[in-house]
Amino acid sequence: MTDRRTADVIVVGAGIVGAACALALSRSGLSTLIVEPGVIGVGTTGAGMGHVVLMDDSQAQFVLTGYSRMLWDELGGALPERAARRSTGTLWVAADDHDLHTAIRRHAFYESSGVGSRLVSPAEIAQLEPNLRRDLAGGLMVMGDSVVYPPAAAAWMIERACASGARVERSAGVASIPAAGRGVELTDGSHAAAGAVVVAAGSASGGLARGLPMTPKKGHLVITDRAPGFCSAQIMEIGYADSAHGDAAESVAFNVQPRETGQVLIGSSRQAGVSDARVDRAIVSTMLERAVWFMPALASLQALRVWTGIRPATPDNLPVIGPDPRTPGLYLAFGHEGLGVTTSLGTAALIAHHIVGHAPAIDPSPYLPERFLRGGPTDA
């Protein structure tokens, strides 16, 4: 075999995380080769909701999502219209007093951390989002969250990376990564050489960086016909985090998003350990029942399409970002589960820190792959 491609760094995958990494690295002056035989921004990225959201399941998650959200704000003005980025905020709604206490605690934490949020009364919820049920206990509005159309955002990042000198390899994918590092073996039998390789291939990443405890999580989304003005904010139930990251093998939670087209995107579901991409009608039915309970008027809308996405998740609900200590020059950027869009820019900044030497804006240690290779968290 002979080298047919040479670069300072190879990025495997052109979903939202890979695209962000390619943009950050190429803008840092590194010659960058992006290996993506499929359609840019499809796969895990194309199946996502596109919600840029602050989350606080753990301090490390709070820091990474908050930092990434700031980077999205900085990038926002440069994004093209097709990326459909809008600052909607997130309205977290409380079904009962237990949820309301959670909202109060979260508001206090956000206030002490400098995050803009405010508690919302049932009467104000009725004014803000009149299609929600009227007997909710209250809610929490978090300012600064936004929505974006991930495939278009990823495609734009690749375009900008190429404008900075990056190249895209479309004719072959990555078959393997040599244990000695220094590049990748491609599916056409050729070798691409680089001093550094970044694996950011979403659900396909585990096959290239084996030995890490990754679990596939299948999610469903439903999109409706046009209903302009049906809702204005991203709306989620307070119990979403418990549903998405709890121990249950299957779970659903109320989550709706207004799209630029006037359509309404409805979620969400999680099926841990499931990699079959076929639509599960039973769980879609349960998910829609949950959504209609919170927002009865959804029953009047026509569902146009249902699809699934398979997202790799780690046991501690944090992505792996940084060098793989087993292979020289290998860097990992996957395991984001449902927060890949949100944390893509923060992930890219941390990868640039590790490869280029940029001073990190946040502590990179909670996300290092080595935490799973030295007796750290493992699969349950």
Pick the CATH number of 3-47+150-213+316-372 from 3.40.630.30, 1.25.10.10, 3.40.50.970, 3.50.50.60: 3.50.50.60
Q: Could you read off the pLDDT of 224-236 as tens digits, one per residue?
A: 999 999 999 999 9
Q: In whole angstroms, how far apart are CA 144 and each of 66, 74, 76, 112, 215?
A: 10, 12, 12, 16, 30
State the Cα–Cα distance between residues 235 and 63, nearest whole angstrom. Answer: 22
| Contact in structure between 287 and 220 (CB atoms under 8 Å) | yes
Residue 147: other Cβ atoms inside 10 A: 25
d(CA 185, CA 175): 6
List helix spans (H) across 2-130.
16-27, 59-76, 97-112, 122-128
Q: What span, in angstroms and rounded, lies between the C-alpha atoms of 38 and 53? A: 28
Token code pair at residue 369: 């792959």
H helix runs in the chain, sequence order? 16-27, 59-76, 97-112, 122-128, 150-163, 240-245, 281-294, 340-356
Q: What is the largest CA-CA distance in the chain?
A: 69
* pLDDT per position as a tens digit, 328-378: 999 999 999 999 999 999 999 999 999 999 899 999 999 999 999 875 554
pLDDT > 70 in the chain, percent = 96
Q: Output phi, psi for 7, to 5 deg.
A: -155, 165
- For residues 253-270, give the mean pLDDT: 96
Pick the CATH number of 90-143+215-311 from 3.30.9.10, 3.30.70.1880, 3.40.190.10, 3.40.50.10320: 3.30.9.10
- Give the model's pLDDT for residue 248: 75
At a CB cut-off of 8 Å and minimum separation 6, what does 13 contact? 35, 36, 199, 200, 201, 202, 204, 205
- Counting Cβ atoms within 10 Å, is residue 134 exposed (0-12), middle (13-18) or buried (19+)? exposed
Domain ranges of the chain: 3-47+150-213+316-372, 90-143+215-311
The pLDDT-based confidence of 380 (bands split at 50, 70, 90) is very low
Q: 59-76 vs 340-356: helix axis angle to the nearest 10? A: 90
Q: What is the rounded (10 degree) CA torsion for 112, 76, 146, 279?
A: -130
Res. 132: pLDDT tops 90: yes
The answer to whether 287 and 185 are in contact (CB under 8 A) is no
pLDDT at 309 over 60: yes
The whole-model pTM stands at: 0.94
Q: Kindly state the tokens that stand for 1.
A: 């075999």
pLDDT at 375: 57
DSSP element (H, E) containing 322: strand 320-323
Token duo for residue 183: 């590049």
State how far Cα 159 lies from the chain centre. 20
